[in-house]
Structure 1
Amino acid sequence: MDLTGKIAIVTGVSKGIGRATAEALLAKGAIVAGWGRTAPEGLTHERFQFFECDIRNEVSVQEAYVDTQREVGAEVRILVNNAGIGNMGPVDGFSSDDWHAMFDTNVHGVFYCTKVVLPQMKKQGEGHIINVASLAGTAGSPNMAGYCATKFAVRGFSDALFKEVRQDGVRVTCVMPGSVETNFNGAEPGAEPDPHKMQPEDIAATIVHALEAPKATMLSEIQMRPSQPK
């Protein structure tokens, strides 16, 4: 798909992979509606508009979508479900509130955002949904049971969804990065890029690659790993 002039929604746009993806899409000529609880600092572009949205709340998602269609355009072609949080800890010491917050954001939010864009994508016979999961959706890790559970859920959702909507002209890609240098889990990215981790821009470039695939091709799953991890 040529991305010039295409309308894209990116969730979790304030920093990390979401912001990098918005910037990569803008560089390709797309029109980007950035959804998030806070606006990305310093990101100003004539083809970028920020919409405040808490994806954990279905009404907030519906309102952001109506606002996006009214202010940016009706024909949304791309949805990047990127917003996500990770709370770590042992299962028997894990806060139930933290558990629910992860599922509300990482799983329920993906459902709400996907559900709201699908009717228009089906109507126009074209659309692409990118779900940002994680390698934690392929294998469990100690002290990450809740996070792994949410990302396994996103992977399963994506696998079922692509089979459900492919005949409608809607493509679905599940992107599963390993270690990325972001604010994930409260860590601050270093001043110098960590050569043992991928950068948000690397994930964004892969998302663009999936979006630009020839129309007859769907990259249904992409696993990404650092080339030379520690």
Structure 2
Amino acid sequence: MTLMQPRDLTGTVVAVTGASAGIGRATTEALVAAGANVVVGARRLERLTDLADELGTDRVVPVQMDVREPADNARLVRTALERFGRLDSVVANTGIGSYGSVLDGSDEDVRTMVDTNFTGTVFTVRAALPTMLEAGAGDVVIVASVASFRGGADEAVYAGTKFAQQGFAGSIDRELREKGIRVTTINPAGVETEFAIGKGRTEGDPSLSEYLRPEMVAHAVVTTLQQPREMRTQSWAMWSMGQGS
């Protein structure tokens, strides 16, 4: 029997959006530990700079950006090419959400959520793909949510954006698989991050102790990228042992 060995990520280049906190930050840390070089994007440049200083500016390059802007996504990719000469993978992680009725929040809140979670994902992927297609190989990882399979009663608009990400990922998987591009959605249940606090949950909420932790989701991202290139995972749904499904 031949044992499959994890794909070595040493020297590969990964772009990660939403990297200033939570899942994006944990994913960056895990990728660097696995040997990858990472270009990190987010709106909060100071946090990105601190992350690069902590992990090594030779391994992590910060880019201030808004995923809703195509030019910003293009600059993220351009930075990877200028700094490291390649781009092997992209992790579209930026997302915002809230808990509450479909009628809660302003029209602008709803528009911002849809544009960030879905349109931003599309622009990030569109920016990354030309380089991967030219190389004939690459990975697109989209951090979605278990809400994309069964939206809860208090997250209708958020769940809708995650359903959209799932549909987008499935379509581009069918489009790109024969061209060497793997597409995966990582679908966590609730994660104990800033994302969860302040949008219907508060610091110290007892339910947060049973949530997934960011490093658990980061583990899933890195494991996905470490798969032998002969295989792919379309969707990874995950819960903590304390969460119901």
After TM superposition, is the score higher than 0.5? yes
Could you tell me how far apart the structure 2 residues matched to 1:33 and 1:11 are? Answer: 9
Q: CA RMSD in A?
A: 2.0
Q: Which residue of the other structure, out of 3, 11, 29, is the alignment partner of 2:35?
A: 29
The corresponding residue for 2:25 is 19
Matched position secondary structure for 2:111? helix
Q: Equivalences for 1:65-144 in 2 at 5 Å?
A: 65-70=77-82, 72-144=83-155
1:229 aligns with 2:235: no
Could you tell me how far apart the structure 2 residues matched to 1:95 and 1:21 are? Answer: 32
1:180 and 1:197 in contact (8 A); partners too: yes
The corresponding residue for 2:163 is 152
Matched position secondary structure for 2:94? coil
TM-score, with length taken from structure 2 = 0.88
TM-score, with length taken from structure 1 = 0.93
The corresponding residue for 1:179 is 190
1:11 and 1:82 in contact (8 A); partners too: yes
Give the aligned residue type for 2:23: I
Matched position secondary structure for 1:207? helix
How many positions carry a matched residue from both structures?
229
Could you tell me how far apart the structure 2 residues matched to 1:193 and 1:201 are? Answer: 18
Matched position secondary structure for 1:97? helix
**For 1:17-61, what per-residue CA distance to the aligned partner results, in whole angstroms no more than 9, with x for missing partners?**
000000000001100000110133632212001001111111222
Could you tell me how far apart the structure 2 residues matched to 1:109 and 1:101 are? Answer: 10
Could you tell me how far apart the structure 2 residues matched to 1:95 and 1:133 are? Answer: 23
1:8 aligns with 2:14: yes
Can you give the 5+ residue segments of structure 1 that lack an aligned partner in the other structure? none
Q: Which moved more, 1:134-143 or 1:193-202?
A: 193-202
Q: Which residue of the other structure, out of 161, 169, 180, is the alignment partner of 1:169?
A: 180
The corresponding residue for 2:3 is none
1:208 aligns with 2:222: yes
Can you give the 5+ residue segments of structure 2 that lack an aligned partner in the other structure? 1-6
1:64 aligns with 2:58: no
Seen in structure 2, the aligned counterparts of structure 1 residues 194 and 143 have a Cα distance that, compared at 3 Å, is: closer
Give the aligned residue type for 1:77: D
Structure 1 residue 188 displacement after superposition: 6.5
Give me the identity figure in percent: 34
Give the aligned residue type for 2:24: G
Could you tell me how far apart the structure 1 residues matched to 2:71 and 2:61 are? Answer: 20
Q: Which moved more, 1:211-220 or 1:40-49?
A: 40-49
Structure 1 residue 73 displacement after superposition: 2.5
